[in-house]
Amino acid sequence: MTTDKPVADKLLNIGPKSYAWLKQVGIRTSEDLKRLGAMEVFMKVKKAGFRPSLNLLYALAGAEQERHWNTLTAEEKNALVVEASARDAAIKHAKKMITPARDVTPPREPSEEAPESAFAEPVLFDDPSGTTEAAEPAQE
């Protein structure tokens, strides 16, 4: 009988809090991490609503390569930060582009193709009945 050890036992650099986050997004083994890649796993954690620091990204990148995160060079860390920032910017841009649909029909102007009678008469503000007929002038 085999027991499924937690990711923390199988992946270098991953502590209990990170393990809980990874488990929430479906990452349980080093194979899961290697299949998706450190950046994709990091973005999944962020999309799930957690607020991971860059240390998790470094830890994942190190674990993916089976090395301690401290051994990542400044250039490797910088490349990870640049990619993560670009992905965050793309997500924010996409969210701005998606706006809820609204039923906005612009008012139509009378045109030569449509006779004036094709447009509804406006309701007068001072007419409580809601009709558009003008009142007869008062007889003196």
Query: So where are the chain's domains?
Result: 7-97
Q: How many CB atoms lie within 10 A of CB 59?
A: 24
pTM (predicted TM-score): 0.62
Q: What's the chain's Rg over C-alpha atoms?
A: 31
Q: Using an 8 Å Cβ cutoff, are 45 and 56 in contact?
A: yes
Q: Which residues contact 22 (CB under 8 A, 6 or more apart)?
A: 7, 14, 28, 33, 41, 45
The domain defined by 7-97 folds into: DNA polymerase; domain 1 (1.10.150)
pLDDT tens-digit map of 85-115: 999 999 888 877 766 666 556 666 665 565 5
pLDDT, tens digit (0-9, with 9 covering 90-100), for 24-71: 999 999 999 999 999 999 999 999 999 999 999 999 999 999 999 999
Measure the CA–CA gap between 30 and 85, rounded to whole angstroms: 25
